[in-house]
Amino acid sequence: MFIYLILGLAFSASITGEVFGPKNPAEKKFWNPLSVNIHLNGYKTTYLDASNSFVFHNVPDGIYVLEVLDHKHYYKTIVLEVLGENVVARDSNIFKGERIVYPLRMQAEKRHVYFEEREAFSIMSIFMNPMLLMTGFMLAVAFLMPKMKMDPEQMQEMKDMQKQMNSGWMSSLLSPPS
Amino acid sequence: MFRFFLLVALAASIYQDQIGTYDWHKVHIGKVIEIHATTGGKSIAISDRGILAMIKPSGELEWRRVVSSIDTYPLFTMSLSGIFTYSSGVLTMWTIQEGQIVWSLYIPEVLQLVLITQGISEVLAVLTENTIEIISIQEGELMKKIYLVKPEKIVFKYKDSIFVMDKKKNILKINSKNWDIEKIDFGEDNEVICAKDSCVAINEKKAKVINNGEIKDINWEVGKIQGVLDKFYVCEGENLVEILEEEVKIIKQIGKHVPSENSQMWLVESSSSLTIYSLEASSISLPSSSIPVLKFWGYTNSKGEFLGYILYEDYSILCFRNTLIRWIREEGLGHTSSLYFLELPSREMHAHNQYFAYIKDHNTWSDVLTNFFLRIESQINHRNIELEALEKDSFAFKKLIIAVSKSEYIFAIQSLNSQIFWRLKVKNLIKVVQLSHEEAILIENDGDKTKLTYLDIILGKKIKEQIYDIETVDVLQIGNEEDSAVYLVDKDFKLLPVVKHSGPELFFYIINSKNGSIEGLKHNNGINSKVWAMKLGTGEKILTYITNKAGNIHQPAIATGTSRLVYKYADENLFAVASQKGQELFVYVINAISGHVIYRLHQDQVSGSIHLAFHEQKLYIHYWNIKYERYEIISAEFFKSNVDDSASDVLQSYYSGGFSTDYSSKFTPEVTVFTQTYVFPYGIKDMKFTTTLQGITKPSLVMILESNQIYLLDSAFLSPRRKLEDNHEEGLFDDPTLPIYKPNIPWSSINIANYFIELEGISKLATTETWLESTSVVIAYDLDMFLIRVMPEKSFDVLSEDFSKSAIVLTIGGLALLNILVQLWFSSKCAKENFNT
């Protein structure tokens, strides 16, 4: 066990890489490399130096997950396999996928969207109200139906129906107050 | 697909203008081990938690960095060139203004960092177990390596020489120009004490001294050395002593004091003030605190003003300038080991409690009339108590958070505004148990005794203390608010009731991680009897366990897409244990009362830490899959095997044996278990379900990611009953409201509860309910503290944020107007028709 520990310590690599801001020049000018953290398996943390590079020293053999944390931009998570002084990097989303470039070159992919957008006020939202739509339809029918050319007998039937309605409870709604 | 994304959006989202409305954040660095003033009133501090930070004149942090990893004790030194730290084998240089890394080097086993002058430039001397390595500051490159035999520490530097003491108490004088080493036999068998520029080895009334770079023997008649103050020694009688050419001289008597870590100043504590003295005989006074001082750093500037920092026993740090306090940082909360939510009283309840507490001590015949008038007064006009800040609000969002710090202090924090109301020194606290809305018990281990302190949680004052003659290893708390019981558990697992339960026997279980055994016991009338026992397989090591905190189960049955009723197996007496043997993970779901193993799960190729979450019928297990090199979550759901196809089935079951929603822990029904594995992109430190009072709304799974972000996940994504895309047949337990199965859990930044706030060092979660069924309160803590209200189904009892009140008013107003206009129009039309006919 002791021998393996010594061998493990003897064979350890440095994990190095460079972090790039967003490609869009308008976004890039707001990118702050000082706010970028790099985490290795969540237990080791480092930051970028003046050349936007980072290094984890003396990493023993094993499999590690490297995350670049920037509160404005999303970076891919990388799986690293360290064996002796060799480091192999893969995209964590693809099982045993192709290797990616090492030393790492981490590119900002997209902006984080943390918040829901408030819907702006729209006059259409009032007009699309179901109550308003139903009332509008009823009024349209009430205006348009009489203007349609109908069979005189059907017309008479409708008038009779209207008279019946007027004598019922609807008349109290439709007739003006006395 | 649309249903899929809708679920993603609903889990956690807030609007940008709501930042800070439902959450607050406390930033900490931990117990300060060194602090230095820099330009512009700023300070550079480093803590024992491995955090380096710059503090603004306001006390807020300008920037904060983790020196390699949290909780690795760092070494530190700084000059105008920059800051130098060492942690976990890495030596790093940082810029002062931005905290940016200039360079970093791997050097194993560093003992000390000292900046020395070589000629006109400054270099860094790094002491390791057998060398001193000289590193250039600009490039971070090794300039010179000097081999030494068993060095212990660099004791001081004087002109062009560095003086190093080895383990045999000899002094090595190293010339920084030509790196020549001169060995000086010094300490031999005597104790060696060193000040800023000298060392003394006392042998009764004689002493060997290295002072001004020269070694000499002098008479030492000032007694034993008790401490050091810059270049001076503090000897018996609290006398400040200076080493002169041929003798030592007492300069003054300074009394019991705390010496400055970096200058010729000292601090004297009294009950009314803290007085800071300098050797020039000037002094200032600051208000005293009831908390003892641990450390003190003092300076005087060119104007003769006193500046400095005081570290207190509760790890809070104060910055002063003359008699003005510039800022105070509560760094005790940067070491929070556990946390409890306590309910607060309403104003009426507090007045009621105050009145009954008063009459308890005033219950003689002569007090009857006074008590009567008091009672009437309390009904009309609530006694003037400063309660508002600690008074329950309408929806019980306001709680009292008791944060237990490793500084041996507990802090009471109000959950809405994060204000600290009181603090109390408590050693070896095991648990906090709330008895009523104004009283709690603090259970502390006091050697082989247990101390119970009854505490008024509003004032933070002790009501009474009780001592029990047992060594408590754990505390069991059962029951609800009206009828709860508290038992102390000793090392032989005997239970001592402290607050008694009116219920019958008590069942509990013991997990022995050393020998891999689990036992279930019954406690009745002071006697424990074993009910069941289980031994795990040979080589299996118990990693973690979790109990099913189901709480109120509002919906014990689920209607499926095929109009059937399926019944959750959500017995709250279930617990899950995770064990590991090599790369094999085993998870057992066990009934604590009967000992029945409901389910046993096996997963191969597992490593790293295992995290469990258990709620109602759902169990989630997070782990690292070695074969696929990714994090996964196994989701398991437990249902009773009987399925009711129609109302007649339900009635038939009821008349034959009772509701299918009932179950007894003594008889395990046939259980159907569904499992599914999902790929989750990140490692986690903790995960918990949110809970609500009635259990109506769906819970959210809260996770602390390894990157210190807090992620909220809708448990629908982790359901093992999600249909496979090409499976057209409806299964008995299928649920059409669930999204179609996809192995990868969708990731959305909208579910990051801490949005763009940078958290560091959070590792634990605590959750509590509120009176709104849609809302739970979650807090993440350890180094930082972040509290947030989580609303997985916020539309359940709260109008949505974008609910347009103006649209409703306009619509109703418009309809009313339309109604009047139409009435007028119809009446005129009828009149015309009547006229024409």
Q: Which residue of A has its CA nearest to B71?
A: A43
Give me the pLDDT at residue B801, please: 64
Do B815 and A132 make contact, defined as CB atoms within 8 angstroms?
A: yes
Partner-chain residue, chosen from A34, A57, A95, that has the shortest CB–CB distance to B98: A34
pLDDT tens-digit map of B676-709: 999 999 999 999 999 888 888 888 999 999 999 9
Task: Determine contact, residues B724/B738, Cβ cutoff 8 Å.
Answer: no
Choice between A129 and B771, residue whose per-residue pLDDT is larger: B771
- Sheet harboring B785-790: ordered strands across? B23-26, B785-790, B776-782, B762-769
- Sheet harboring B420-425: ordered strands across? B336-343, B399-405, B409-414, B420-425
* Prediction ipTM score: 0.86
Q: Which residue of A has its CA nearest to B93?
A: A49
- What contacts B351, CB < 8 A, 6 or more positions away? B378, B382, B383, B385
Do B69 and A139 make contact, defined as CB atoms within 8 angstroms?
A: no
| pLDDT for B429 beyond 50 | yes
Strands B618-625 and A44-47: unpaired
Task: Determine contact, residues B618/B715, Cβ cutoff 8 Å.
Answer: yes
Do A174 and B749 make contact, defined as CB atoms within 8 angstroms?
A: no
> Residues 69-88, chain B: which have Cβ within 8 Å of A?
69-70, 88
**Of the spans B362-366, B591-595, B619-623, B670-674, which averages the highest pLDDT?**
B619-623
Extract long-range pairs of B411-417: CB within 8 Å, 24+ residues apart: B411/B330, B411/B332, B411/B333, B412/B457, B412/B460, B413/B333, B414/B389, B414/B390, B415/B341, B415/B777, B415/B779, B415/B787, B417/B24, B417/B389
pLDDT tens-digit map of B542-552: 999 999 876 67
Phi, psi angles (nearest 5°) of residue B229: -135, 95
Q: Which residue of A has its CA nearest to B763?
A: A42
Interface test with B, best of A12, A40, A43, A166 (most B CBs within 10 A): A43
CA separation for the pair B560, B327 (Å, rounded):
60
| Mean pLDDT confidence for B108-115 | 95
Task: Determine contact, residues B707/A39, Cβ cutoff 8 Å.
Answer: yes
In chain A, what are the domain boundaries? 2-111, 123-168
Q: Where residue B554 falls among pLDDT bands split at 50, 70, 90? A: confident
Q: Over chain B, what is the mean pLDDT?
A: 88
Interface test with B, best of A48, A112, A115 (most B CBs within 10 A): A115
Phi, psi angles (nearest 5°) of residue B453: -110, 120
Task: Determine contact, residues B745/B633, Cβ cutoff 8 Å.
Answer: yes
pLDDT tens-digit map of B116-138: 988 889 999 999 999 999 999 99
% of chain B at pLDDT higher than 70: 92
Do B68 and A45 make contact, defined as CB atoms within 8 angstroms?
A: yes
- In total, chain A counts a number of residues equal to 178
- Lowest pLDDT segment from B152-166, B335-349, B367-381: B367-381
Phi-psi region of A41 (alpha: psi -120 to 50; beta: other; left: phi over 0): left
Q: Over chain A, what is the mean pLDDT?
A: 81
- Lowest pLDDT segment from B37-51, B471-485, B735-749: B471-485
What is the full DSSP assignment across B74-99? PEEEEETTEEEEEETTEEEEE-TTT-
- In total, chain B counts a number of residues equal to 837
Partner-chain residue, chosen from A39, A50, A125, that has the shortest CB–CB distance to B807: A125
The token duo for A152 is 């005189």
Please say whether the structural domain A2-111 has been given the CATH code 2.60.40: yes
CA separation for the pair B664, B823 (Å, rounded):
66
Give me the pLDDT at residue B561, please: 66
Strands B14-15 and A115-116: parallel
Do B100 and A50 make contact, defined as CB atoms within 8 angstroms?
A: yes
**Of the spans A106-120, B289-303, B476-490, B651-665, which averages the highest pLDDT?**
B289-303
B22–A contact, CB cutoff 8 A: no
CA separation for the pair A116, B397 (Å, rounded):
23
**Of the spans A3-7, B32-36, B222-226, which averages the highest pLDDT?**
B32-36
Give me the pLDDT at residue A96, please: 65
Interface test with A, best of B14, B62, B68 (most A CBs within 10 A): B68
Closest by Cα among B827, B678, B813, B652 to B747: B678
| pLDDT mean for each 10 residues of chain A (178 residues) | 42 89 89 94 89 95 93 92 92 75 93 84 72 78 72 80 73 56
In chain B, what are the domain boundaries? 350-389
Helices and strands (H, E) in chain A, number of each type: 6, 12
Give A55's contacts in chain B (Cβ within 8 Å): 104
Do A132 and B811 make contact, defined as CB atoms within 8 angstroms?
A: yes
Partner-chain residue, chosen from B68, B105, B804, that has the shortest CB–CB distance to A125: B804
> Residues 697-756, chain B: which have Cβ within 8 Å of A?
705-707, 709, 744, 749-750, 752, 755-756
The token duo for B681 is 């992109």
Amino acid at B792: P
Do A119 and B802 make contact, defined as CB atoms within 8 angstroms?
A: yes
CA separation for the pair B570, B575 (Å, rounded):
11
Give A117's contacts in chain B (Cβ within 8 Å): 15
pLDDT tens-digit map of B48-87: 999 999 999 999 999 999 998 999 999 999 999 999 999 9
Q: Where residue B2 falls among pLDDT bands split at 50, 70, 90? A: very low
Task: Give the closest-approach CA distance of B827 to chain A in angstroms.
Answer: 5
Extract long-range pairs of B466-470: CB within 8 Å, 24+ residues apart: B468/B496, B468/B498, B470/B494, B470/B496
Give me the pLDDT at residue A6, please: 40
Do A48 and B830 make contact, defined as CB atoms within 8 angstroms?
A: no
pLDDT tens-digit map of B571-597: 888 999 999 999 999 999 999 999 999
Choice between B759 and A28, residue whose per-residue pLDDT is larger: B759
Give me the pLDDT at residue B233, please: 92
- What contacts A127, CB < 8 A, 6 or more positions away? A133
| pLDDT for B795 beyond 80 | no
Three-point CA angle A66, A68, A72, nearest 5°: 155
Closest by Cα among B194, B213, B214 to B153: B194
CA separation for the pair B115, B742 (Å, rounded):
58
Q: Where residue B805 falls among pLDDT bands split at 50, 70, 90? A: confident
- What contacts B368, CB < 8 A, 6 or more positions away? none
